[in-house]
Chain A
Amino acid sequence: MNNALLELKNISYKYKNNLILNKVNLKINSGEKIALLGKSGSGKTTLISVLNGTIKPTEGEVKLFNKSYEELDRKQKRKITTIWQDLRLIEDLSAEQNVNCGLLAENNFYFAFKNLLNISSFKKAHEYMQLCRLHNSIYDKKIRKLSGGQKQRVAIARSLIQGSNILLADEPFNNLDPKLITTIKNLLLDNVDKNNSKKSPKTALVALHRLDLLNNFDKVIGIREGKIFFNIKRNNLKKFHLDKIY
C-alpha cells in the first residue's frame, strides 16, 4: 500500500526547448516537513507548480492522494495550499479581502460577492493577519500600497486561512526580518498556536535558501538543473551535499 500523499514519477518538464525538470521522482508522506534547497533557476518553483497542479509535466505521472490531479475532487484539491514566491496577490483588493480569498473555496458565490463589497465578516481573516503580526492599520489597505514584508505576510495569512493539510511554500521567508522569520516559521511548521484553533499544515515542502532555518525540517531535498541530487534526512546533511547543488 502506497502511503505517499504526493508522488512524482519520472517527471520531466520542458519549456521552450529547455529542460526545467529532468526525470524527477519524489514521494512526500503525511506529516513530513521537507526543505527544498537549490540555486535560483534550479527548478524549485517549477517542482512546486507541478505538485500543486498548476503546471502539467511534459512527461511522467503526478499522484496526489493516490490519484491523478484530474481525478481529484474539489475537496481533495483544497487540502493543498501554496505560498508563491511572487505572492500572487490581487493588487487591487485590500489586504483583508485578499486573505478572505483563501476562504473562497469553502464558501459560495455570495461570499465572494460580499467580500468584494466589503460587507462580509473579516473576523477570521483578521485573526490570521494578527497571527502573521500584521498591524490592523493595514487591513483595509490595497495590496499595492503595502511593503514587501507586509505583502509576504498577507500571502502567508491567505494560505493558512485555507486550513489545508499540505503546504507548498516557495521561499516564504523572503522580505521578513529575523524576528518575523521565527514567528512565521513556527506558524507554518510547528503547530504553535496554543489556542489550538488554528493549526499549521501537517505536511510541508518549503523551498528556501537559508540553511540556518533547516532545524524545523525532517528531510532535505537538493535540486540542481532540474534533477534531484539528494533526498535525505536532515541529520544526514553534510557539506558535500550542499557543494553538489550550490
Chain B
Amino acid sequence: MNKLKLNYTSLSFLPILVCIPLGYQLINNIHLGGFKLFQEFLISAFNPKIDNEIIITVINRLNETILIGFFSWLVSISFGAIFGIISSNIFCKIFNIPNFFSRVIRFFLTIIRSIHEVVWGILLMQIYGINFSIGIIAICIPYIAVNSKVFAEQLETIDYKSFESINQINAPKFSSLLTLIWNPIINTFKNFGIYRLECSIRSTVILGLFGIGGIGTSIFLSFQALNFRELWTYLWSLAILIILSGIIFKKIKFNTTNKILSIFFIAVFFITILFSFSYFLYFIFNNNFENFNSVSSLLKSSSDLGLFDFLKLILETIILSLLSTGIAISLPPLVIGIFNNNSSKIFIKIFAFLLRLIPTPLILLTLLTFNNPSLSLAALTLGLHNAGITSKLLFTNLDNQDKRNYIAMKSLGISKKTSWLLGLFSQQAKSYLAYCTYRSDIIIRETAIVGVIGSVGLGWQLQESLSSFAWQEVTIVLIAYSSIAIVGELINGKIKNSLT
C-alpha cells in the first residue's frame, strides 16, 4: 500500500475535516424558533432603513468611529515605532546594551499583545467606567505591541555590515541610529501603516458592540431591538466607509523625498507622542477608580473557580482556536476551487466581504437565532469571519499569479477544477499556509470576543468574573489567556519559519 504523502496543497485542505464534529454538533443544536428572525435579518439587507434621522445618526456615529479609530491608530503607530526601535537588536548594538534588554521588552510586549483589545476594553470599562478615551486606550495597548513587533522585525532586516560601517565612522550614536533605521521605519509605515488604520477602525466597531460608542454601539442596540432594517443601514454605511477608505488609501502615495511632507509627518509624530503621553498621565491622575478599590483587593478576593473547571475552560479555548483555524484555512480554497467560474467568484467575493464586514459578535448573535450556544457555533463564527479575511488574501494572490501553467493544463484537456488546483493553487499553497499561521495567532486572541458572547471558553469566564468584580479570577483568566496566546505564537512561529 502506498504511503500517504502530504504536501502544502493537501495540507491546505486537510483542516476542513474539523467540519465533521462541528457540523454534527451544529445540526443537533438547531432550533427552529429563530428562523423567522434570521430570514428577516437577511431580507433587511436589501431593504435598509433610509430617512433623515437615521442618516444624521449614521454620520454622527461614523464620525465617532473614525475619530476613535484614527486617534488609536496615530498613537499606536507612533509608540509602536518607538517600542519597535528600542526592542530591536540594532538599538542594543549601537548603544552597547546587552541583547537581554531587547528580549525583556519583547517578552513584555508579547504579553500585552496576547490579550485582545476587547478584553482590555471590558477591563478598563470596569475600572474607569464608560469613557471616550477608554476606546482609544483599549485599542492602543495591544496595537502598540503589535506595531512594535512589525517595526522591530523590519529593523532586523538592516544589514549588519551597514551597522559596522557606520559604527566605524564613529558618528554620534543617535545619528548612527537615525541613519540606519530611517528607511526601514518609513517603509514599514508605508506598507503596513494604512492596513493598521483599517484594523483600528474595525476594532473600534467591535468595541462599540461592547458599549464604547461609535457605530458599533448603534449596531448592537439595533440588533437588541431586532430592528434589522436599521442595523443594515449601519452595516452598509460601514461597508461604504471601508470601501471608500480603501480607495482613498490606495491613491495616497507617501513621497518621502518631499521635504515638506516629511517634516509634517515628523511633526505629527512628535506632537502625538507628547500629547498622548501627557494625556495618559492626566487620565491616570484624574480618574476615579470607580470599581477598582486597590491592588490589595486583588489579593484579598477569593476565587470560586475550581481547577477542573478552569482547565476545562482552557481546553475549550484551545479547541475553539483549532476548529476556527481549520475553517479559516480550508474553507476559502475549497469554495473557490469548487465554484471556479467568474459569476461564482463575484458572489464568493461579496460573501467574503460581508463576513469581514460584520463583526464576529454580530455573526454569532445572528447564528444564535437558530442554534443553541455551543463551542461549535463559536468556532463556526470565528472561522467564517477569518475565512473572509484569508479568502481576500487568496483571491489577491491568485489574481496576481502567472496563469501560464493553468492555461497549459486546461489546453491538455485537464478539467478546470484540477487545473486550478494543480496549476494555480498549488503554487500559492505554501505562502497561503504561512499567512494562515499568522492568522491563527489572531484567532487565538479573538476567542475572547466570541467567548464573551457565545458562553464558551475563557472569554465567558472573563465576563463572569468581571461582572462580579472577582479580580483574582480576572487575573487568573488573563494569565491563562496570555499563556495560550504566547504558546500559540511560539508554535506558529516555528511552523511559519519552516514554511518560509
A interface residues (Cβ-Cβ under 8 A, vs B) = 52-54, 74, 77-78, 80-82, 84, 86, 88-93, 101-102, 104-105, 107-109, 111-113, 115-119, 162
Please give 11 more A-B residue pairs, beta carbons under 8 A apart, in addition to A88-B159, A109-B178.
A52-B168, A53-B168, A78-B169, A78-B170, A92-B187, A93-B179, A101-B169, A105-B170, A112-B179, A113-B178, A116-B178
B180 CB-CB contact with A under 8 Å: yes
Q: A54-B164, A84-B161, A86-B161 are known contacts. Are A162 and B169 too (CB-CB below 8 A)?
A: yes
Count chain A CB atoms within 10 A of each CB in B168, B178, B179, B182 and give the residue with the most.
B168
Cβ A74 vs Cβ B183 within 8 A: no
Contact of A93 among B183, B259, B263 (CB under 8 A): B183
Name the interface residues of B229-277: CB closer than 8 Å to any CB of A: 257, 259, 262-263
B174 CB-CB contact with A under 8 Å: yes
- Report the Cα distance A91→B157, complex, angstroms: 12
Closest to A80 in B: B168
Q: A84-B161, A88-B164, A117-B259 are known contacts. Are A105 and B169 too (CB-CB below 8 A)?
A: yes
Closest to A84 in B: B165
Q: Which 4 A-B pairs have the closest CB atoms?
A: A104-B171, A88-B165, A92-B183, A112-B175
Closest to B183 in A: A92
Closest to A79 in B: B170
State which size class the interface on B falls in: 20 to 34
Q: A109-B174, A117-B262 are known contacts. Are A90 and B169 too (CB-CB below 8 A)?
A: no
Cβ B257 vs Cβ A112 within 8 A: no
Contact of B175 among A53, A92, A111 (CB under 8 A): A111
Cβ A107 vs Cβ B168 within 8 A: no
Cβ B171 vs Cβ A105 within 8 A: yes
Kindly provide the distance from the CB of A110 to the nearest chain B CB, expressed in whole angstroms: 9
Give the chain B neighbours of A104 by CB distance below 8 A. 166, 169, 171-172, 175-176, 179
B296 CB-CB contact with A under 8 Å: no
Kindly provide the distance from the CB of B258 to the nearest chain A CB, expressed in whole angstroms: 9
- Report the Cα distance A95→B159, complex, angstroms: 17
Name the interface residues of B178-226: CB closer than 8 Å to any CB of A: 178-180, 182-184, 187
Cβ B168 vs Cβ A109 within 8 A: no
- Report the Cα distance A81→B166, complex, angstroms: 11
Give the chain A neighbours of B187 by CB distance below 8 A. 92
- Report the Cα distance A133→B273, complex, angstroms: 45
- Report the Cα distance A162→B159, complex, angstroms: 22
Contact of A115 among B169, B179, B259 (CB under 8 A): B179
- Report the Cα distance A77→B263, complex, angstroms: 33
- Report the Cα distance A81→B159, complex, angstroms: 20
- Report the Cα distance A111→B172, complex, angstroms: 11
Cβ B257 vs Cβ A88 within 8 A: no
Kindly provide the distance from the CB of A119 to the nearest chain B CB, expressed in whole angstroms: 6
Q: A52-B168, A104-B169, A162-B169 are known contacts. Are A118 and B178 too (CB-CB below 8 A)?
A: no
Q: A90-B179, A117-B262 are known contacts. Are A112 and B170 too (CB-CB below 8 A)?
A: no
- Report the Cα distance A231→B187, complex, angstroms: 49
Q: What are 21 of the A-B contact pairs (CB < 8 Å)?
A: A54-B164, A54-B167, A77-B170, A78-B169, A81-B169, A82-B168, A84-B161, A89-B162, A92-B184, A104-B169, A104-B172, A105-B169, A105-B170, A108-B172, A109-B172, A112-B172, A112-B176, A112-B179, A118-B259, A119-B259, A162-B169
Q: A107-B175, A108-B175, A113-B178 are known contacts. Are A54 and B183 too (CB-CB below 8 A)?
A: no
Kindly provide the distance from the CB of B151 to the nearest chain A CB, expressed in whole angstroms: 15
Kindly provide the distance from the CB of A224 to the nearest chain B CB, expressed in whole angstroms: 25
Kindly provide the distance from the CB of A96 to the nearest chain B CB, expressed in whole angstroms: 12
Closest to A164 in B: B169
- Report the Cα distance A101→B170, complex, angstroms: 10
- Report the Cα distance A107→B176, complex, angstroms: 11
Give the chain A neighbours of B162 by CB distance below 8 A. 88-91
Give the chain B neighbours of A162 by CB distance below 8 A. 169
Kindly provide the distance from the CB of B313 to the nearest chain A CB, expressed in whole angstroms: 48
- Report the Cα distance A53→B263, complex, angstroms: 36
Q: A93-B183, A162-B169 are known contacts. Are A88 and B178 too (CB-CB below 8 A)?
A: no
Closest to A102 in B: B169
Closest to B178 in A: A112
Kindly provide the distance from the CB of A246 to the nearest chain B CB, expressed in whole angstroms: 28
- Report the Cα distance A101→B184, complex, angstroms: 17
Give the chain B neighbours of A119 by CB distance below 8 A. 259
Give the chain A neighbours of B161 by CB distance below 8 A. 84, 86, 88
- Report the Cα distance A86→B164, complex, angstroms: 12
- Report the Cα distance A111→B184, complex, angstroms: 19
Give the chain A neighbours of B263 by CB distance below 8 A. 117
